[in-house]
Structure 1
Amino acid sequence: MKAMLGDTIIAEAPKEDLISIEGNWYFPPSSVTSELLEKSTTPYHCPWKGDCQYFSVKDGDTLLQDRAFSYPEPLPGSRERVGKDFANYVAFWKDVKVVD
């Protein structure tokens, strides 16, 4: 599967390596082109997953605010709920489309 911004591939991994949580596909950290992401200061706390790290996505000279997110240190019990360790896996939204 691929996370695409226009024609640019931001992440790519076999579907079996991804984790689906609440309708979002989370990509393994090693499958993400980290040069296209910039840490955001936007705060968010999920009551069952923990503190979220947002990332803005680089689109040429434009920085698209908070188009990717991750949970660096999931709360105790969340891994069991998901069935896998999803720490630092990255999900995308808005302009970034996940395709087969």
Structure 2
Amino acid sequence: MADHTTESHIILHTHSQRVRILAGDTLIADTRNAIELREKGYPHRHYIPKEDVDMVKLSISSTVTHCPFKGDSTYYSLPDIVDVAWSYERPVDDMQAIAGRLAFDAGKVAEIVE
């Protein structure tokens, strides 16, 4: 995937470095196939394919939000961390590259990029 910029000033690009997500000492995700999303006014986010996330540890929460530039999001929780991650299952057309991938709240988990 080449860098892709949308009218909303969102830039998507492939991220070939290893990205690991840890909740305490527990590994939640480990990938070399992340997509980095950069959006003006927000921290960079890594969207990780579900096959690289330990989905058994996560449960869908009741939180749902809407972004006019990305679409409706579904949130996920760990047993002891509410709304730790989110996913756009059916994003708007310009954001199809992040469909079904998870982004994690860096304030609630450790993200290690190598």
TM-score under structure 2 length normalisation: 0.73
Alignment RMSD, CA only? 1.1
Does structure 1 residue 97 correspond to structure 2 residue 110?
Answer: yes
Does structure 1 residue 87 correspond to structure 2 residue 99?
Answer: yes
Greater relative CO, 1 or 2 (CA 8 Å, sep 6+)? 1
Tell me the number of residue pairs that the alignment of Structure 1 and Structure 2 aligns. 89
Cross-structure match for 1:82: none
Does structure 1 residue 73 correspond to structure 2 residue 85?
Answer: no
- Percent sequence identity over aligned pairs: 33
The residue identity in structure 2 corresponding to 1:78 is: M
Partner Cα distance (2:110, 2:89) in 1: 22
The runs of at least 4 consecutive aligned structure 1 residues that moved more than 2 Å come to none
Consecutive unaligned residues of structure 1, counting only runs of 5 or more, are 80-84
Partner Cα distance (1:78, 1:18) in 2: 14
Partner Cα distance (1:29, 1:5) in 2: 17
Aligned residue among 17, 26, 38 for 1:8: 26
Does structure 1 residue 64 correspond to structure 2 residue 81?
Answer: yes
Cross-structure match for 1:20: 36
Alignment deviations for residues 20-68 of structure 1 (CA, whole Å, 9 cap, x no partner): 113011111100000111101112001110000000123xxxx311010
Between Structure 1 and Structure 2, which shows a larger proportion of strand residues? 2
The residue identity in structure 1 corresponding to 2:81 is: L
